Each structure stands twice: as C-alpha cells, then as structure tokens.
Amino acid sequence: VFVSREAAILHADADCFHASVEQRDRPELRGRPVIVGPGVVTSPSYEARAYGVRSAMGGRLARRLCPQAVFVKPRWDAYVEAGKALFEVFERTAPVVEGLSMEEAFLDVSGLRRISGSPIEIAARLRREVRERVGLPITVGVGRTKLVAKVASGVAKPDGLLVVPPASELAFLHALRVESLWGVGPSTAEKLNAHGISTVGQAARLSQAELISILGRASGRSVHALAHNRHPERVRARRGRGSFGAQSALGRTTRSADAIDVVVIGLVDRVTRRMRAAGRAGRTVVLRMRFGDFSRATRSYTLSRATAASETVLAAMRALLRSVATVIERKGLTLVGVTVSNLDARYGGIQLELPLERRSRSALDRALDELRERFGTGAIIRAALLGRGSELSPALLADEAARRRD
DNA sequence: TCTGGGGTCCTAGGACCC
DNA sequence: TCTGGGGTCCTAGGACCC
C-alpha cells in the first residue's frame, strides 16, 4: 500500500478550458462572458458563470441567464493543441504524470525537493510556466492523496493554488457536500440525501455496511473509503484508452432510415480512421441511441476478430440498426453513436485505397504484392471492395455467425 | 436545466465450458 | 445420470466524469 507522508501530489486543472483558449486567441473576448457552443454549453468563462451559466447547460437557458454573453463555436483542433502544450509543461515538471482528460492531470512531485524545491514551490512554478508558455490560467491543488489534491483544486478555482496539509485533510473533506467526492453524481447524492446525508462528514459516520446497503457494493465501498480519505492510489501514467467512439445529435426532426444511414456512415468513417491512425483494432461494435422521449439504449455485437476496417464496422452497425428499426420508428431517434471497444489487439495493418477506375485484378495484385513486400509473407492481408452499393453486411454477419458455430 | 461529444467503470443475467 | 462448483465471455444498462 502506497502511503505518502507529505502532501506531494499535485492536481493541475485548466480553468474553463475551452473558453480560456478562446479568450487567449481573441483578446477582444477577455473580461467578457464567453460561452462555448450553442446547443449545449461546454465551458462557460468565469464571467459567464457569475450569471449562473454552467457547463452541460442548455444553450437557450444560458442565453436567458446571460444575454450579453458572446457565444463561440467550439474549435476542437485548437483545444487539442492547447492540451498538448499543457501536457508538455506537466511532463517537464514531474517524472510521473497521470492525465485525466485533455486539460487535467495528477503529478507526483515527491522526491523532487532537492532538484525542484517543495511541492508548493513546484506548484507555483507550474502555474507560472503554463501561463507563460501556453497562455492559460490553471489551478493546482496539492495534497497527500489524489482525492485531496483533486478536491483542493476544485475549491481553489479559478486561477488558484491550494495546499491541504496532512493534518487538516479530514476536516477539509468532511465540510464538503457529498457531490464533491469522486464518483458521486446526482443519482448517488440523491440516495444519500434521502437518508439525511448531505455532507462528507455525515457520510463518514456511517459504517461501510450501511453505505453499501444504500448505494450498492461498489459505490458504497468507494464513498466509505473516500469519506475517510482512504484513497491510496499511486499517480501513474494511464494505460491506453479502452474504446473509440463518435456520436451525433440529430435534433427532433424525424429522419428516414436512409438519412440515418448517411449519418452512421460518417460516424463509422470517423471512428475507424482514428483507430487506423492510432494503430488499434477492436472487436465489439456498440450502437448508442437516444430517442424522442430522451430514453437511451445501446446494442452491441462482438466480432470474432478485432478490426479497424470501415466496412466491417459499418456492416455490424447496419445489422444492429435493423434489429431496433421498430423502436426507432415508434419513438424517433434523436442521437446515434458508434463505439468500438474491446481493443484487445494491436492493428498493424495498413489500408490502401485504389481509385475505382483502377479497380482491376492486376491493380489489386500489384497492391497486394506491395503489401507482402512491406510486411512479409506472414502478414495477414485482407482486401475488400469499397464504394457505392457495397452491401457486405448480411454476408459478413452470416460469415461471423458461421465461424462462431465452428 | 429540456439536453453535445468524448470517454470510464460497475452490475447482472445468460450462454457456455470444464 | 440430470447436476456441483468454478470460471469466462457477451450483452445491456446505469452512473459518472470532463
């Protein structure tokens, strides 16, 4: 069990990340309420938060609360870029960095006192360097455990630094509302509230058995441990991601099956391109849906082999869509998503696309020869015809089913 | 609060295996 | 013969996070 004696875990978190990037790149937005994203608000600036605008809030309500706000379309490329720059500074600051998202990470700075100074000094310098090199404000929380560090940065926002010394940890945590704990969202908070528990301190007075009886095993254990500041997890670099996905909200207008198919093709293409670029393949294809009444559902299908091929994933998606056609017709589809998970294999493949006019047997043979030359005769080479009217789905799935039986 | 887009982890039942 | 104990994998859904 890992127990650090001093507060040497940093949680660094960019403030209102998206809005801050916009304000950095467009000086005329500085000091003004900025809201990124019509539709749903991803990241309101603090000027907008002052009017009650929150992330994940509907755009219409946000506009009502803060009519003078500037609405800005999200620029994802710019955020990815800024996130990379942010992590470059993180990596320079600490030997072990655990990224939680594009704009947030834990840094373990124990053992750096001789080289870089105390955790507080390191945290202050980190904030300065991010400001200088990336041009963004960040908040840093410092604690002995990840939990305390994370909660501390949340409390210190915006543009702040808060160190919670080991002696004050419990007092610090117990004063907070239960929602501040990691993994406690609206549903869990409501269950606790129903038992008269609204603060972490109140939760800490319950036994683990009592919490499990209220919340179930995993949540009960987790809340019990966190409320006592038992969160002995090391800071460690994350292993690779577990899935690739893309989704698209369709709005409330009813779409024909053909129109849905067009959206799905685009989503599959996006996901599989990213997978191939990352050199990953997956076996499970998940269709994610939201309906007119805002209920949700998923359907999944597991292939016998991992793939990153567009037409294989598309075939599976089409079959899944057919299986829920009547539900979609009855309730209306307002969101559709594709996720490929079960990423158990490296995908060492490469995809060569031949223009249609060169789609001849000899052109194909030349391409295959080229692949064999590059990857050796031991490589598994699969070819598929792409293009208009290619309807591989039923045959492909029948093939999968047959292989399973075998 | 009337709803985007990208993820993670947990639970539970059923099929199937030895 | 008609059934114990242990396990894996798949599917679907829920909760949560940024």
pLDDT tens, residue by residue, A78-131: 999 999 999 999 999 999 999 998 999 999 999 899 999 999 999 999 999 999
Question: How sure is the predictor about A369, in pLDDT bands with cuts at 50, 70 and 90?
Answer: low
For residues A71 and A238, the model is more confident at: A71
Question: How sure is the predictor about A396, in pLDDT bands with cuts at 50, 70 and 90?
Answer: very low
Q: Which helix (H) or strand (E) holds A92?
A: helix A76-93
Question: How sure is the predictor about A378, in pLDDT bands with cuts at 50, 70 and 90?
Answer: very low
Cα–Cα distance between A299 and A280 in angstroms, integer?
Answer: 22
**Mean pLDDT of all residues in chain A?**
83
Surface-to-core class of residue A43, CB atoms within 10 Å of its CB (0-12 exposed, 13-18 middle, 19+ buried): buried
Residue A202 CA distance to nucleotide B16 C1' (Å): 46
Q: Is the CB of A264 under 7 A from strand B?
A: no
Question: How sure is the predictor about A399, in pLDDT bands with cuts at 50, 70 and 90?
Answer: very low
Which of chain A's residues 269-328 bind strand B, using a 7 Å CB cutoff? Answer: 270, 274, 294
Q: What is the per-residue pLDDT across A38-59, written as a single tens digit (0 to 9) for each?
A: 788 888 999 999 999 988 888 8
Q: Is the CB of A104 under 7 A from strand C?
A: yes
Q: Is the CB of A194 under 7 A from strand B?
A: no
End-to-end alpha carbon distance in chain A = 46
Q: Is the pLDDT of residue A137 over 60?
A: yes
User: Are A147 and A229 spatial neighbours (Cβ–Cβ below 8 Å)?
Assistant: yes
The per-residue pLDDT for A313 is 92
* A22 has catalytic annotation: no
Q: Is the CB of A52 under 7 A from strand B?
A: no
A159 three-state secondary structure? coil
Least confident of A99-113, A175-189, A313-327, A379-393: A379-393
A287: the nucleotide nearest its CA (via C1') is: C12
Residue (of A234, A235, A242) closest to A91 by Cα position: A235
Q: Is the CB of A177 under 7 A from strand C?
A: no
Residue nearest to nucleotide B7 (CA to C1'): A243
Q: What is the per-residue pLDDT across A233-274, written as a single tens digit (0 to 9) for each?
A: 888 887 778 899 999 999 878 888 889 999 999 999 999 988
Residue A360 CA distance to nucleotide B7 C1' (Å): 42
Cα–Cα distance between A180 and A363 in angstroms, integer?
Answer: 61
Residue A283 CA distance to nucleotide C5 C1' (Å): 31
The per-residue pLDDT for A90 is 95
Q: Is the pLDDT of residue A33 over 60?
A: yes
Residue A295 CA distance to nucleotide B2 C1' (Å): 13
Q: Is the CB of A220 under 7 A from strand B?
A: no
DSSP A170-211: HHHHHTSBGGGSTT--HHHHHHHHHTT--BHHHHHTS-HHHH
Q: What percent of chain A has pLDDT over 70?
A: 83
CB atoms inside a 10 Å sphere around CB A169: 19
Question: How sure is the predictor about A303, in pLDDT bands with cuts at 50, 70 and 90?
Answer: confident
Residue A377 CA distance to nucleotide B4 C1' (Å): 46
Q: Which helix (H) or strand (E) holds A243?
A: strand A243-249
Catalytic residue among A104, A169, A311, A400: A104
Q: Is the pLDDT of residue A354 over 50?
A: no
On strand C, nucleotides with any atom < 7 Å from a protein CB are 9-18
The per-residue pLDDT for A383 is 45
Cα–Cα distance between A293 and A312 in angstroms, integer?
Answer: 31
The per-residue pLDDT for A183 is 86
Q: Is the CB of A247 under 7 A from strand B?
A: yes
The per-residue pLDDT for A260 is 92
Q: Is the pLDDT of residue A3 over 90?
A: no
The per-residue pLDDT for A55 is 85
A127 three-state secondary structure? helix
Q: What is the per-residue pLDDT across A272-283, written as a single tens digit (0 to 9) for each?
A: 988 888 888 888
The per-residue pLDDT for A401 is 41
Question: How sure is the predictor about A356, in pLDDT bands with cuts at 50, 70 and 90?
Answer: very low
Cα–Cα distance between A175 and A181 in angstroms, integer?
Answer: 11
The per-residue pLDDT for A357 is 44
Residues A183-200, mean pLDDT to the nearest whole number: 90
A192 token code pair: 């606790």
Q: Is the CB of A403 under 7 A from strand C?
A: no
Surface-to-core class of residue A360, CB atoms within 10 Å of its CB (0-12 exposed, 13-18 middle, 19+ buried): exposed
The per-residue pLDDT for A4 is 55
Residue A371 CA distance to nucleotide C4 C1' (Å): 53
Cα–Cα distance between A171 and A150 in angstroms, integer?
Answer: 16
On strand B, nucleotides with any atom < 7 Å from a protein CB are 1-12
Q: What is the per-residue pLDDT across A138-191, written as a single tens digit (0 to 9) for each?
A: 999 999 999 999 999 999 989 999 999 999 999 999 999 999 898 898 889 989
